[in-house]
Amino acid sequence: MGHSIKRKEDLRFIQGKGNYVDDVNLPDMVYGHMVRSPYAHARLKGINTENAKQLPGVLTVITGEDLAKANLAWMPTLFFDKQMVLATGKVLFQSQEVAFVVAEDPYIAADAAELVEVDYEELPVLVDPHKALDPDAPILRDDREDKSNHIFHWEVGDRAATDKVFEDAEVKAKVHAVFQRCHPAPLETCGCVADHNAATGRLTIYLTSQAPHAHRTLFAIVGGIPENNIRVISPDIGGGFGNKVPIYPGYVCAVVASLTLGRPVKWIETRSENLQSTGFARDYHMTAELAATQDGKIQAMRVKTLADHGAFNAAAQPTKFPAGLFSICTGAYDYPTAFCEVDGVYTNKAPGGIAYRCSFRVTEAAYLIERAVDVLAQELKTDPVELRRKNFISPEKFPYKSPLGWSYDSGDYDAAMKVALDTIGYDALRKEQQEKRAKGELMGIGISSFVEVVGAGPAHTFDIAGIKMFDSCEIRIHPTGKAMCRMGTKSQGQGHETTYAQIVAQELGIPAADVTVEEGDTDTAPYGLGTYASRSTPVSGAATAMAARKIRDKAKKIAAHLLECSEEDLDWEPGKFFVKGAPSKAKTIQDIAFAAYTNMPEGMEAGLEAVDYYDPPNLTFPFGTYICVVDIDKGTGEVKVRRFVAVDDCGNIINPMIVEGQIHGGLTEGLAIAFMQQIGYDENGNVQGGTFMDYLLPTAVETPHWETGKTCTPSPHHPFGAKGVGESPNVGSPAAFVNAVVDALSHLGVKHIDMPIAPWKVWNILKEKGAVN
């Protein structure tokens, strides 16, 4: 561990020999195509599938009515709600699934989909979440007993105490920050090949899934198929970012079609379908207030948030947390009082939301506090760095109990800040800014000192749809000393085939090259909850270490037997046991592995393997400081990122090269969110960000050069002190970008700008303030 070894999985990808779901081709395979609603809210009066069915090559057209006969027209979501698989009665968002066509060839299936005639009666549309609870708002969910658009109310903290602090506060700062609806848009869209083999009775589903075991269990429960007859295989996944956590109607339809037709059914969604109907992220409308003393000591935080979940609450979140882990919004700062409340509502939009490259709702939280702190700094007319450093939780206070109930494991926030400041040359930049301002030039510096909570999570508090959030690892050592490991997680590019091998190499001394790592086949891998929310290293990585240590315990006994001594006489260094004081009397792990099959001690079982299901004692709390420098063109409003320094602390690092790559990628996503992206809806519920024409992804030209750095504050409860890091850059960066732009314009009186900060927004502000070139 700690070495930047090259990735083992690269070999197949650089040759174009990856095995993604769309690469799976089975004999006799047929293709599915979804018919979708053009209306955001309408009654379904009738569907005429006759013309579609008559088209040569079409095998079947499934509608909601057909599914209803098998009780499958609706399916449970991951969060106490249900969602329509195929529309029955009404449609609730544009692009909602209405019928599923299956044909011999994907082009014929698309032709047939055009021939399906659907009769709709338009209903009034609700797209503004703020209007969802108005007395005259259209009620979207006829199927619910509670005839309202209100999904949940959740609160945490001490409302009375917080209100009191605000009443008496010397200084108050308030910001209303919208984290716009965006979409993870992994480069590979979602899809599956569902193959029910009537001869064996088994259903194999090749699936773009970040959580194959959980999906298998859900398919078993919802579909009534015995779980031992279902095999979910997540082969290579082209990016997930949370988009591949939910179960989508297309999967269910493909399974039903395969069961009906007895042939493999492939369904791969198009990009438009992906952007318009699959798990969106964010859409949090948040108000934060900070109370502080005149000399800048934060005393309390008060938060009120409106959460837009679209037509169904398909949030992929631990069940006790309707607003995810949003209560981390108190941030990296030390104060005793806080209160937070979140209300979720339905609207005529695609259902969700998922945790897009973040631990559930942690991005929204980090964005909110980091914006609020900057607004407070502006209010106090103090430097935003000063204000942060004054309020950071100091290292001696860990484990730190936050006012909203989190126990932060470890942290040294000031250390990360210091590295960031030194790397970017903060003082010189502030001088430069002053000089530029005098000349009327616009330059800004944005800070984000985020802390996030990842690695869900301990069984006493965390479960997804009832399944506890442990994770697992199974290691088997072969007679010739090579190892095979399987985990319950599923990489979508994070490099698990390499990093897990490094953990095993560290714990057992078997070279990483001799360790094969497999994930994603539910027939062979031990049960796990999958990869998202930065949980692989904290949970499954821990399981790997624990399994390896169990093996080491057995290996010690074998070594003692081979060296004819007692276990107490032995010492360990990675790769071998040796007699204390006589290092030449040693047995390598390879010797021991061979002996495990050929020369076991009396009474010992053969073999050298172990499995561990790890229940993490706590979550982990990675953190960092990001600093962004921007220059704004007064003529066009365009914001150019001049420099971005990201200092991350994720505890002990397994592979620095892989961590750095993750940071680059996440920062690029943050850049896109801050400046370019939004899934918007017009007043009729038409999706405005439904293709890459409107939902913009940065190319190599827009993406700046990222500078990365690190500090290391190990997690005291993790077997090797690691915390998880894949998502920190997406969590911490939006605030850094926005803070930089606001900082560039703060002398004009600007306090906040909502994302995405497109040039026209900045230009309008400049015009309004009389500062346009």
In the range 223-242, which residues lie near other proteins by CB under 8 A? 236-239, 241
Options 210, 299, 494, 662, the catalytic residue:
210
Is the CB of residue 341 less than 8 Å from the CB of residue 307?
Answer: no
- Say whether residue 682 binds other proteins (CB under 8 A): yes
* Near other proteins by CB under 8 A: residue from 2, 3, 23, 176: 23
| Residue with Cβ nearer other proteins (6 or 430) | 6
- Say whether residue 705 binds other proteins (CB under 8 A): yes
Q: How far is the CB of 695 from other proteins (least distance, A)?
A: 10
Q: How far is the CB of 667 from other proteins (least distance, A)?
A: 6
DSSP state of 697: -
- Say whether residue 192 binds other proteins (CB under 8 A): no
Q: How far is the CB of 194 from other proteins (least distance, A)?
A: 19
Which pair of structure tokens corresponds to residue 495? 């490099």
Which pair of structure tokens corresponds to residue 292? 């502080």
CA dihedral over 128, 132, 137, 138, signed as positive or negative: positive
23 vs 685: CA distance, rounded Å = 35
Which of positions 267-326 make contact with other proteins (CB under 8 A)? 270-272, 276
Query: In the chain, how long is the greatest CA-to-CA distance?
Result: 88
The site that binds other proteins (CB under 8 A) totals a number of residues, namely: 78
- Say whether residue 186 binds other proteins (CB under 8 A): yes
545 vs 473: CA distance, rounded Å = 9
* Near other proteins by CB under 8 A: residue from 11, 139, 513, 604: 11
Go through 645-662 and write b for each residue having 16 or more CB atoms within 10 A of its CB, e for each that does not: bbbbbbbbbbbeebbbbb
Options 190, 329, 358, 628, the catalytic residue:
358
210 vs 241: CA distance, rounded Å = 9
- Say whether residue 688 binds other proteins (CB under 8 A): yes
| Residue with Cβ nearer other proteins (20 or 597) | 20
Q: List the x/- string, 638-657, binding to other proteins by CB under 8 A.
A: -------------------x
Q: Where does this chain touch other proteins (CB under 8 A) — which range of 187-195, 289-297, 331-339, 432-440? A: 187-195
Q: How far is the CB of 682 from other proteins (least distance, A)?
A: 4
Q: Which of 386, 392, 445, 456 is nearest to 623 (CA)?
A: 392
Is 638 marked active-site?
Answer: no
- Say whether residue 690 binds other proteins (CB under 8 A): yes
Q: Where does this chain touch other proteins (CB under 8 A) — which range of 8-16, 244-252, 432-440, 499-507? A: 8-16
18 vs 308: CA distance, rounded Å = 37
- Say whether residue 428 binds other proteins (CB under 8 A): no
* Near other proteins by CB under 8 A: residue from 63, 77, 189, 209: 189
Which of positions 512-571 make contact with other proteins (CB under 8 A)? none
| Residue with Cβ nearer other proteins (492 or 620) | 492
Q: List the x/- string, 475-514, binding to other proteins by CB under 8 A.
A: -----------------xxxx-------------------
Q: Where does this chain touch other proteins (CB under 8 A) — which range of 35-43, 170-178, 343-351, 418-426? A: 35-43
| Residue with Cβ nearer other proteins (273 or 414) | 273
* Near other proteins by CB under 8 A: residue from 39, 166, 339, 400: 39
Transcribe 698-732 into DSSP letters: --TTT----EEEE-----TTSTT-B---TTHHHHH
449 vs 445: CA distance, rounded Å = 13
Q: How far is the CB of 106 from other proteins (least distance, A)?
A: 8
Burial class (CB in 10 A: 0-12, 13-18, 19+), 319: middle
- Say whether residue 53 binds other proteins (CB under 8 A): no
- Say whether residue 10 binds other proteins (CB under 8 A): yes
Q: How far is the CB of 208 from other proteins (least distance, A)?
A: 11
Q: How far is the CB of 704 from other proteins (least distance, A)?
A: 9
Cα torsion through 410, 668, 191, 126, rounded to 10: 90
| Residue with Cβ nearer other proteins (549 or 664) | 664
Q: How far is the CB of 678 from other proteins (least distance, A)?
A: 13
Cβ–Cβ contacts within 10 Å for residue 221, how many? 14
* Near other proteins by CB under 8 A: residue from 118, 380, 424, 512: 118
Burial class (CB in 10 A: 0-12, 13-18, 19+), 46: exposed
| Residue with Cβ nearer other proteins (58 or 328) | 58
232 vs 722: CA distance, rounded Å = 30
Q: How far is the CB of 584 from other proteins (least distance, A)?
A: 38
Is the CB of residue 671 less than 8 Å from the CB of residue 267?
Answer: no
- Say whether residue 684 binds other proteins (CB under 8 A): yes
- Say whether residue 144 binds other proteins (CB under 8 A): no
Is 210 marked active-site?
Answer: yes
Instruction: Look up tokens 């210091």; give the residue.
Output: 418
Is the CB of residue 238 less than 8 Å from the CB of residue 187?
Answer: yes
Q: How far is the CB of 629 from other proteins (least distance, A)?
A: 17
68 vs 485: CA distance, rounded Å = 42
Is the CB of residue 93 less than 8 Å from the CB of residue 37?
Answer: yes
Is 669 marked active-site?
Answer: no
The residues with which 450 forms a beta bridge, in sequence order, are: 624
Q: How far is the CB of 691 from other proteins (least distance, A)?
A: 5
Is 202 marked active-site?
Answer: no
- Say whether residue 27 binds other proteins (CB under 8 A): no
Phi then psi for residue 553, to 5 deg, are: -60, -45
Q: How far is the CB of 17 from other proteins (least distance, A)?
A: 7
- Say whether residue 764 binds other proteins (CB under 8 A): no
Half-sphere exposure of 758 (CA within 13 A, CB side): 8
- Strand 150-157 with 191-197, pairing: unpaired
Which of positions 66-105 make contact with other proteins (CB under 8 A)? 94
- Say whether residue 676 binds other proteins (CB under 8 A): no
Q: Which of 104, 3, 101 is nearest to 53 (CA)?
A: 101
Phi then psi for residue 706, to 5 deg, are: -100, 135
Q: Cα-atom radius of gyration of the chain, to the nearest Å? A: 27
| Residue with Cβ nearer other proteins (120 or 346) | 120
Q: List the x/- string, 239-258, binding to other proteins by CB under 8 A.
A: x-x-----------------
Reduced to 3 states, what is the DSSP secondary structure of residue 329?
A: helix
- Say whether residue 15 binds other proteins (CB under 8 A): yes
Options 263, 282, 357, 388, the catalytic residue:
357
| Residue with Cβ nearer other proteins (237 or 325) | 237
Q: How far is the CB of 669 from other proteins (least distance, A)?
A: 7
| Residue with Cβ nearer other proteins (231 or 496) | 496
Transcribe 554-616 into DSSP letters: HHHHHHHHHHTS-GGGEEEETTEEEETTEEEEEEEHHHHHHHHHHSPPTTPPS--EEEEEE--
- Say whether residue 667 binds other proteins (CB under 8 A): yes
Q: Which of 433, 392, 662 is nearest to 536 (CA)?
A: 662
436 vs 425: CA distance, rounded Å = 16
* Near other proteins by CB under 8 A: residue from 669, 677, 722, 745: 669
Q: Where does this chain touch other proteins (CB under 8 A) — which range of 116-124, 138-146, 457-465, 522-530? A: 116-124
Is the CB of residue 210 less than 8 Å from the CB of residue 184?
Answer: no
Q: Which residues are catalytic?
A: 210, 357-358, 727
